[in-house]
Amino acid sequence: MLPMEGKLPIGPGWSYEAKWDGIRVIVGTDDRQFRLVTRGGRDIADRFPELAAITAVSSVVLDGELMVFTGDKPDFGAVLSRMGGAKRNARAAAERSPATVIVFDLLAQSGEDLRARPYQERRTALEALTLPDGWIVPPVSRDAAAMVAASATHGLEGVVAKRRDSKYISGRRSRAWVKMRHKTAIDALVIGWASRSKGGVSLLLGEETPDGLVYLGRCQTSADVSATLASLEVSEPAAAVPHARGGVHWVRPELAVEVTAPSRTPDGRLRHAKLLRVRLDSLE
């Protein structure tokens, strides 16, 4: 289940958690083994042997964020480095840059699927688990302002509001979860790219909405991203793009990016968008 981006809802029916800057993972334990599965379906457990103690918690499915901290700050680059490292070097990498999983939901326990139960009930069951070192259940608050202030003070990405009566819907965005970032960052998907006459490339962006993918506008980046996009090329755009000229390479909307813009046009497109980060982990 993925959050929609927007203004934090305020009211007695909501709880608030910090938003963590890591790799979203679904964790499963069974028969003294564990799986650490990315949004793209890749099991990366063999890259993180230091997390194997979770097998002591038998027969659970957890939702969380895979993190590496440098000091007390999240280090997104270090997480990507660990994911891309060779399996034979995993133990040495674990000693240099140990990982942590921030666990924020319990989806199944002892063979029982809990996703249809209310968030508050799942959260209570999660807090009752005894998790090993390296596995942390973060604090939750019913005070939105306090959580916003705390996340900003600790240099975290933002806050997620969760409706306390909400079910968990796997693989979909839901307005029952709403995220707010301290930065004016916007999630987007690359739907195409074109070379620029002055060098580099122009990325054509789409934004996920309740009505589907819509065209968001363009931003510029270096030409090396085109190599990443080559394997995603398709013949037609994933969203309607007005006035699209020749020379555009359309791609499947799988590569996620974060962009920022000072404002939007009346039809929702970004003005003067700037690329903040390419989320290569979205292809894992």
Which tens digits make up the pLDDT trace of 28-44? 999 889 999 998 899 99
Please name the residue ranges forming H helices in the chain. Answer: 76-84, 90-96, 119-127, 144-153, 225-229
Which tens digits make up the pLDDT trace of 155-211? 788 899 999 999 999 988 899 999 988 766 788 999 999 998 888 899 999 999 888
Which tens digits make up the pLDDT trace of 69-81? 988 888 888 888 8
Residue 103 has pLDDT above 80, yes or no: yes
Q: What is the CATH architecture of 1-19+140-182? A: 2-Layer Sandwich (3.30)
Q: Cβ distance 271 to 216 under 8 Å?
A: no
Q: Cβ distance 261 to 18 under 8 Å?
A: no
The Cα 78–Cα 93 span in angstroms is 10
Of 39-43, 63-67, 129-133, the one with minimum mean pLDDT is 39-43
Per DSSP, 168 falls in state P
Q: In the chain, where are the structural domains located?
A: 1-19+140-182, 21-137, 185-283
Of 21-35, 68-82, 93-107, 136-150, the one with minimum mean pLDDT is 68-82
Give the largest CA-CA distance in the chain.
Answer: 59
Residue 284: per-residue pLDDT: 67
Average pLDDT over residues 243-249: 83
Homologous superfamily of 21-137: DNA ligase/mRNA capping enzyme (3.30.470.30)
Tell me, what amino acid is at 100?
T
What topology does CATH give the domain 185-283? OB fold (Dihydrolipoamide Acetyltransferase, E2P) (2.40.50)
Q: Could you confirm whether 19 is annotated as catalytic?
A: yes
Residue 226: per-residue pLDDT: 84
Q: Cβ distance 191 to 241 under 8 Å?
A: yes
Residue of 19, 73, 162, 167 marked catalytic: 19
Residue 142: per-residue pLDDT: 96
- The residues, ordered by sequence, that sit 6+ positions from 249 with a Cβ below 8 Å of its Cβ are 192, 193, 194, 226, 229, 233
Q: Cβ distance 135 to 100 under 8 Å?
A: yes
Give the number of other Cβ atoms within 10 Å of residue 167's Cβ.
15
As a whole-number percent, the residues of the chain with pLDDT over 90 amount to: 66
Per DSSP, 209 falls in state E
Q: How many residues does the chain have?
A: 284
Residue 183: per-residue pLDDT: 66
What's the first-to-final CA gap in the chain, in angstroms?
18
